[in-house]
Structure 1
């Protein structure tokens, strides 16, 4: 079993013992998502820490989107619950890049792509190819794409 999955299971046990309902239900749902991922496909397999982290990130993104939907629908209590679950999951993800850190990485990638002959909005793919490995798991794709578009447009 991967070390991250082990940590999730140990934290779930601790949350259950301390009667922390929010934490235990969030970790239970996340471990279920990991298990589903392990058995999907043609053969059951053990997920690596990176793959487990991607599942956690996907779950955290679901919580953010649900919180927004609940807030827009006037269900503040449900939105708050989703945000709290997202915060629990954030503890298992790498620290997110700040806007300044992301801007610096994207600016460097734009310079690299320009050196390779890619310019303007059509360079988006080339720049994203350079940026994605550098920010993997530390910045949401939409955030990265928006920053790349902004810099390629001369912003």
Structure 2
């Protein structure tokens, strides 16, 4: 399980004296715990790896956005710190689908649903997320669906 891998990596980083890595791993653990608490009141049951992957994807997306903002604002030192955190987060994410795989899946979904125009984008994106949610880069998928339907 990914959660166990994160705990083991945290212990290893603490023993190795890697402060930045330890801090990032603790942030990940805190976000996962927050998500666990949110789901306590919910009737919805999710697979643990799916839950952890969702948290990691959200954290990675936040880091990428921060890196862009820091670089455009001329704050290279902050961008480097965010890149370091992103690298740690990405260690635990499953391998994302390639662009070719996403296009093949889009073509399959378009054929199955009969999607032909931009009005059908929501249906195609919904089906993509349902089938490949944990390994799908939403930003890339959205751009490819738009390109495919226009």
Q: Under a length normalisation based on structure 2, what TM-score does the superposition of the two structures give?
A: 0.88
Partner residue in 1 for 2:32: 34
**Distance of aligned partners of 1:134 and 1:10 in 2 relative to their CA distance in 1, 3 Å threshold:** same
Partner residue in 2 for 1:149: 146
Which ranges in structure 2 are unaligned for 5 or more consecutive residues? none
* 8 Å Cα contact 2:10-2:25 kept in structure 1: yes
CA displacement, residues 61-104 of structure 1 (integer Å, 9 cap, x when unaligned): 11111111111110111111111211111111111122222222
Match for residue 118 of structure 2 among 118, 121, 124:
121
* 8 Å Cα contact 2:60-2:89 kept in structure 1: yes
Q: How much has 1:47 moved relative to structure 2?
A: 7.2
**Structure 2 counterpart SS, 1:40:** helix
* 8 Å Cα contact 1:38-1:46 kept in structure 2: no
In 2, Cα distance between equivalents of 1:46 and 1:101: 25
In 2, Cα distance between equivalents of 1:97 and 1:50: 16
In 1, Cα distance between equivalents of 2:141 and 2:47: 26
* 8 Å Cα contact 1:113-1:119 kept in structure 2: no
Which of structure 1's runs of 4+ aligned residues deviate more than 6 A?
44-47
Partner residue in 1 for 2:58: 58
Which ranges in structure 1 are unaligned for 5 or more consecutive residues? none
Matched, 1:4 2:5: no
**Distance of aligned partners of 1:47 and 1:111 in 2 relative to their CA distance in 1, 3 Å threshold:** closer
